[in-house]
Amino acid sequence: MRFTSAFGAVATFVAVASAQTNPGDASDADVAIVAQQLSNVGVAALNLDYAVTNFTGPSSGPALQSSSNDVVTALTNGISNIQPVQGNITITQGVQQLLTPTNLLNSNVTAAVNDTINRKQLLVDSCYGPTVLSTLNQQYNLSLSFRDAIASKFAESNRGLVTSLAAVNRSVELRYWQLL
């Protein structure tokens, strides 16, 4: 029953939001650029998680470092590719095109951070602790800029709704401090 009520409320919200378009709205092609950047970072985070879970010691360090660098590259490229997007992303566009890649990104980042925490001792014993910590700090700072780049593409009145992207950063930040 609650699901039906919630679904009805969401459907009503989307229908109302769909009707509220204006010339300043972003094109679907521009929103697709943002969605692609979210997906790119999500794939990089998934590959990093794979490298972390397959880390067995110093011999697997280069693969871990490469995957970690790929996350930095995906975030940096994402920021650069999102900045030129014109117009404001509507809530409807956000729900239809950005929700799925955002959820996948959140899932992949959470898995990578959790698996890094689980492998912390092995990473430290293999002398990769400082490297991992430095790279995580860089990734965290870039993720804040990435989030801000996306949030800037929403109308000022809707940016509060976009703070759900900050949940990714909050969960990463909380887990990040467990690595220290």
| Number of domain units in the chain | 1
106-139 pLDDT, tens digit each:
889 889 989 998 999 999 999 998 888 889 889 8
- What is the dihedral angle through the alpha carbons of 118, 164, 41, 147, rounded to the nearest 10 degrees? -120
> At 9, which amino acid appears?
A
Contact 132, 179 (CB under 8 A): yes
Per-residue pLDDT of the chain in tens (180 residues, 90 and over written 9): 444 444 444 444 444 444 445 768 889 999 999 999 999 999 999 999 999 999 999 999 999 999 999 999 999 999 999 999 998 988 888 888 988 998 898 889 889 989 998 999 999 999 998 888 889 889 888 988 998 899 889 888 777 766 665 555 555 555 555 555
Q: 15 φ, ψ to 5°?
A: -65, -40
Report how far residue 25's alpha carbon sits from residue 14's, in angstroms, rounded to the nearest whole number: 15
Owning domain of residue 128: 2-179
Answer whether 0.85 is exceeded by the pTM.
no
* Residue 93 CB burial class (10 angstroms; 0-12, 13-18, ≥19): buried
Sign of torsion, CA 36 80 49 169? negative
* Residue 67 CB burial class (10 angstroms; 0-12, 13-18, ≥19): buried
DSSP state of 158: G
Report how far residue 27's alpha carbon sits from residue 84's, in angstroms, rounded to the nearest whole number: 12
Q: 56 φ, ψ to 5°?
A: -120, -5
